């Protein structure tokens, strides 16, 4: 049972919410058809996290329409991934000119992530460490880090600690060994995940990136290296999928 429903039932038991109000909350429409999208308004009730808007391929007007429908349904924070600067500017202007302006909108150009409602206080059990092999991996890392943060996790960033200078990674053993889950992000040959996996006792989520020269095949080389890791406890998400890694890390950190 999701934490949302558990909390609702606890509020009924404590008297904070009436039975009728709780019933209304559960009976609310599970999705809203707005023509170009069917917005899943029950995602947070089912899974503990609201629907995330994938910005690529959507017009700025479509993104704004989905955001407004989610806000109308009571969603306090909204994550938008793979968002262009133009769409971010449009959303910022339109929200500032309406009642939505008080909610707040932020955009990270580096990671192409938009945040409506800001970052909440951490509720996870421990710390999520996001580590990159190089500086070129930071855009994917920031997508992972911001995803984890908006889902209520404390995040530590360790950037440019790849195996080409292993001593850089080893200066952060305290952060690595005290983490609840680690996201290891690397392109080229993708060796960082195996090295970290051999040092720590927590789950490691490996993210191959499309960083590298021709024979890296747009990240396929790093993907295969990570899939073939000899370190136990390493799982792998798709190429450049910082969002998927951040979401999974949050699930682990909230168990």
Per-residue model confidence as pLDDT tens digits over 80-113: 999 999 999 999 988 886 666 577 899 999 999 9
Residue 4: what pLDDT?
Answer: 67
Q: Is the predicted pLDDT of residue 1 greater than 50, yes or no?
A: no
Neighbour-count burial of 208, counting CB atoms closer than 10 A to its CB (0-12 exposed, 13-18 middle, 19+ buried): buried
Which residues, 6 or more positions from 232, have their beta carbon under 8 angstroms from its beta carbon? 197
Total Cβ atoms within 10 A of residue 33? 10
Residue spans in the chain of domains classed CATH 3.40.50.1970: 127-253
Helix (H, G, I), strand (E, B) or coil at 208: strand
Reported CATH class of domain 127-253: alpha beta
Closest CA to 51 of 247, 183, 233: 247
Q: Is the predicted pLDDT of residue 194 greater than 90, yes or no?
A: yes
Report strand pairing: 113-116 vs 105-108.
antiparallel
Render pLDDT for 44-80 as a digit per residue (tens, 0 to 9).
Answer: 777 778 888 999 999 999 999 999 988 888 888 899 9
Q: How far apart are CA 3 and CA 79, in angstroms?
A: 19
Q: Average of pLDDT values for 233-248?
A: 96
Residue 29: what pLDDT?
Answer: 64
- 64-74: b (≥16 Cβ within 10 Å) or e: bbbbbbbbebe
Q: Average of pLDDT values for 123-147?
A: 96
Q: Average of pLDDT values for 149-160?
A: 96
End-to-end Cα distance, the chain: 13
Residue 2: what pLDDT?
Answer: 58
């Amino acid at each position: 049972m999701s934490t949302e429903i558990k909390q609702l039932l606890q509020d009924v038991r404590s008297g904070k919410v009436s039975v009728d109000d709780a019933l209304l909350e559960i009976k609310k429409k599970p999705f809203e058809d707005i023509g170009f999208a069917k917005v899943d308004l029950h995602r947070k009730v089912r899974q503990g996290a609201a629907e995330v808007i994938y910005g690529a391929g959507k017009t700025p007007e479509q993104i704004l329409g989905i955001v407004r429908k989610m806000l109308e349904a009571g969603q306090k924070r909204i994550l938008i991934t793979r968002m262009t600067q133009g769409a971010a500017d449009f959303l910022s202007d339109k929200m500032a000119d309406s009642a939505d302006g008080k909610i707040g909108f932020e955009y990270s150009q580096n990671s192409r992530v938009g945040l409506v409602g800001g970052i909440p206080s951490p509720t996870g059990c421990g710390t999520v460490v996001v580590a990159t092999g190089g500086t070129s991996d930071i855009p994917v890392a920031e997508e992972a880090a911001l995803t984890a943060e908006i889902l209520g996790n404390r995040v530590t960033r360790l950037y440019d600690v790849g195996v080409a200078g292993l001593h850089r990674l080893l200066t952060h053993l305290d952060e690595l060994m005290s983490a609840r889950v680690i996201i290891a992000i690397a392109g080229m040959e993708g060796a960082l995940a195996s090295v970290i996996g051999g040092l720590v006792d927590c789950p490691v989520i490996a993210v191959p990136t499309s960083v590298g020269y021709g024979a890296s095949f747009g990240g396929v080389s790093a993907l295969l290296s990570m899939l073939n890791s000899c370190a136990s406890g390493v799982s792998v998400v798709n190429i450049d999928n910082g969002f998927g890694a951040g979401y999974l890390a949050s699930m682990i950190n909230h168990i």
